[in-house]
Amino acid sequence: MIEFTTWDILRNLLLAARWTVVLSLVAFTGGAIVGLAILFLRISKGKAARVFASGYIELFQGTPLLMQLFLSFFGLSLLGIEVPAWLAAGIALILWTASFLAEIWRGCVEAIPKGQWEASASLGMGRLQQMRHVILPQALKIAVPPTVGFSVQVVKGTSLTSIIGFTELAKAGQVIANATFAPFTVYGFVALIYFVLCFPLSKSSQFLERKLNVAHRNH
Amino acid sequence: MSLIEITEVRKSFGDNEVLKGIDLNVEPGEVIAIIGKSGSGKSTLLRCINGLETINAGSIQVAGAQLATDELHLKALRLKVGMIFQGFNLFPHKTAGQNVMLSQMVVKKTPKPEAEAMAKKMLDRVGLGHKFDAYPDELSGGQQQRVAIARALAMQPVALLCDEVTSALDPELVQEVLAVVKELAAEGMTLLMVTHEMRFARDVCSRVVFMHMGRVHEIGPPDEVFGDPKTPELRQFLGAQH
Ligand SMILES: Nc1ncnc2c1ncn2[C@@H]1O[C@H](COP(=O)(O)OP(=O)(O)OP(=O)(O)O)[C@@H](O)[C@H]1O
Ligand SMILES: [Mg+2]
């Protein structure tokens, strides 16, 4: 049997952690873009758009992420579309992230007083102009802490993609634990790396929230 | 043709009919005070005129722009009438100057230097040229309301709708806002204002509209309306003011 040094274990885990970071970034960026689109539908004037958006949100928040991963990986291949694990993982995580971000942001948009909509409308602005220049800049400020806070969920969510065979941190941990017969050390490191990734995020979310509460000046 | 033509306007919220057939024509340069009890539909009428509420029947026209529900018609209408709100509704993330510049640049596509010059001019006009770079939360209520007036004026409307523009202000700040409104009236701006300032209505307005239960119950020059009220409802309303 080959001997693994602690450094070997850690080095391999860190290499795999790169994919956790990449997948998190992809999920978060893609999720933000899709989430913004869902947000616009969710608060649009058209009933059909609103119904679609809330249906989307219910669906992706109301089913486990694990099932969404299975469906996008196995489901698509059943339909004859072969998707590699990384693609299936990316798609499922993006859609899942989008549903949560859209809902978080809707709350922020609705927290903006009605008078802001009315004043900008009475000045002749169209709906998109109101959003772009008046509503979103104000909503963005209150959206930052919960959005950063949710990014922790995204990082942890990527660990589920190990199930469909995508080799990120959790999957690498599994493989290395099996090879080294040192599960406690290996999973200890895995947990530690996740913590190192997530802790700054949740701390900065708390910090931003405090800062925002202290500075009640709105600019 | 009148500047503002309000014909047979009806408005309901659910099965609560708030405006029950309003007819009102306003000539250019007229200053109209709208008075009446709480809930008589004064705010709703103003909000209908610039399309913040959709009407159920009748028609509204301002300087040839017809009220309709689509964004294009609404925009054309809103370029003609500005609105000043009780709660100021300045954009808190923008300075006084930026508040006045924003809609010029976004809606009218005015180039920035011109929008800035216009903002300076309008802020000067309401006596706040020196507050160009102040954020709304650095201004008093009276100053905020004057910025809101400058913001509406910068769009060069033909008429202004004012809904209890001094009601949210501390008593000592009321006069500075009324002074600005009075000056606008003197310069010939057409004004439709819901107000509880009876003395102001008497001094400045050309006509007074008394609304009661969703109708124009009495209308006339201030001398007549205040000096010789015809209906018991108006007499009672005026009696309750003191
Ligand atoms: N968005 C709304 N939904 C339902 N009912 C409304 C709405 N806005 C106004 N109303 C109702 O319409 C009626 C007239 O309201 P409006 O605000 O026009 O009165 P007002 O004359 O301006 O009163 P005040 O002097 O208190 O401002 C009231 O009975 C009010 O409850
Ligand atoms: Mg009112």
pLDDT digits (tens, 9 = 90+) for A27-68: 999 999 999 999 999 999 899 999 999 999 999 999 999 999
Tell me the count of A-B CB pairs closer than 8 A.
72
What is the amino acid identity at position B180? V
Residues in a beta bridge with B61: B5, B66
Measured between alpha carbons, how far is A192 from A199 in angstroms, rounded to an integer? 10
User: Which of B38, B45, B215 for a ligand 1 pocket mutation test, highest count of atoms within 8 Å of Cβ?
Assistant: B38
Q: What is the pLDDT of residue A83?
A: 86
* Ligand 1 neighbourhood includes B43 CB (under 6 angstroms): yes
Alpha-carbon distances of A94 from A32, A34, A59, A86, A101, rounded to whole Å: 8, 8, 14, 12, 10
Q: What is the pLDDT of residues B123-137, one digit of tens each?
A: 999 999 999 999 999
- Using CB atoms, pick whichever of A118, A124, A219 lies closest to residue B85: A118
What is d(CA A105, CA A136) in angstroms, rounded to the nearest whole number?
9
Distance CA B193, CA B182 (A): 12
The Cα B191–Cα B209 span in angstroms is 13
For range B73-88, the mean pLDDT: 92
Residue B71 has a pLDDT of 82
Nearest CA-CA partner of B184 in B158, B209, B202? B158
Cα distances (Å, whole numbers) of residue A98 to A13, A95, A106, B68, B136: 28, 5, 12, 36, 34
Mapping DSSP to helix (H, G, I), strand (E, B) and coil, where does residue B57 land? strand
Residue contact A133–B90, C-beta within 8 A: no
Q: What is the pLDDT of residue B242?
A: 61
Query: In 10 A of CB B2, how many CB atoms?
Result: 15
**Is-contact A166 A85, C-beta < 8 A?**
yes
The reply to whether residue A124 touches residue B107, judged by beta carbons under 8 angstroms, is: yes
Nearest residue by C-alpha to atom 8 in ligand 1 = B44
B chain contacts of residue A219, beta-carbon cutoff 8 Å: 92-94, 135
What per-residue confidence (pLDDT) applies to B45?
96
- Tokens standing for B192? 């439709």
Residues of B in contact with A126 (CB under 8 A): 71, 75
pLDDT of the residue at A214? 64
pLDDT tens digit string along B149-159? 999 999 999 99
Q: Which atom of ligand 1 is nearest to the CA of B214?
A: 14
Q: Is the pLDDT of residue B72 over 90?
A: no
Say whether B91 and A217 touch across the interface (CB within 8 A): no
- In this structure, are residues B30 and B206 in contact, taking their beta carbons and an 8 Å threshold? yes
How sure is the predictor about B239, in pLDDT bands with cuts at 50, 70 and 90?
Answer: confident
pLDDT of residue A2: 65
CA distance A121 to chain B (A): 8
- The question of ipTM being above 0.85 is answered as yes
**Closest chain B C-alpha to A120 CA, distance in angstroms:** 8
CA angle B98, B191, B46 (to 5 degrees): 85
**Domain residue extents for chain B:** 11-21+28-240
Domain annotation for chain A: domains and CATH numbers: 6-215 (1.10.3720.10)
Per DSSP, chain B holds a count of helices (H) and strands (E) of 9, 10
Among the partner residues A125, A137, A219, nearest to B107 by beta-carbon distance:
A125
Do residues B233 and B73 lie in contact, with contact meaning Cβ atoms separated by under 8 Å?
A: no
Contact A8, A161 (CB under 8 A): no
Over the stretch B173-212, which tens digit does the pLDDT of each residue have? 999 999 999 999 999 999 999 999 899 999 999 999 999 9
Show the beta-strand stretches assigned E in chain B.
4-13, 16-26, 31-36, 57-62, 65-66, 81-84, 159-163, 190-194, 207-212, 215-220
- What is the 3-state secondary structure of A94-148? HHHHHHHHHHHHHHHHHCCCHHHHHHHHHCCCCHHHHHHHHHHHHHHHHHHHHHH
**What is the Cα–Cα distance from A113 to B47, expressed in whole angstroms?**
17
Ligand 1 atom with minimal separation from the B42 CA: 21
State the maximum Cα–Cα separation within chain B, in Å, rounded to a whole number: 56
Of B242 and A172, the one with more pLDDT: A172
Who among B92, B94, B103 is closest to A124 (CB)?
B103
* Closest chain A residue to B155, measured at CA: A123
Tokens of A187: 């999973």
Residues B213/B42, Cβ–Cβ less than 8 Å: no
Nearest to A217 among B52, B94, B137 (CB): B137
pLDDT of residue B40: 94
Which residues, listed in sequence order, are joined to residue B33 by a DSSP beta bridge?
A: B193, B208
Among the residue ranges A156-165, A203-212, B13-22, B27-36, the one predicted with the least confidence is: A203-212
Q: Is the pTM of this model over 0.90?
A: no
Q: Which fold is adopted by the domain B11-21+28-240?
A: Rossmann fold (3.40.50)
pLDDT of residue B49: 94
CB-based contact B210:B202 (threshold 8 Å):
no
Mean pLDDT of chain A: 91
Q: Which of A212, A88, A90, A87 is nearest to A148 (CA)?
A: A212
- Position A215 scores a pLDDT of 57
In B, which residues are within 8 Å of A127 by CB distance?
A: 71
Q: How far is the CA of B116 from the centre of ligand 2 (A)?
A: 33
Distance of alpha carbon B181 from alpha carbon A143, whole angstroms? 38
> Could you read off the pLDDT of A92-147 as tens digits, one per residue?
999 999 999 999 999 999 999 999 999 999 999 999 999 999 999 999 889 989 99
Please give the average per-residue pLDDT across B14-27, as a whole number: 94
Mean pLDDT throughout B23-29? 94
State the Cα angle at B43 between B37 and B45, rounded to 5°: 105
Closest B-chain CA to A128 = B106
- Evaluate: CB of B44 within 6 angstroms of ligand 1: yes
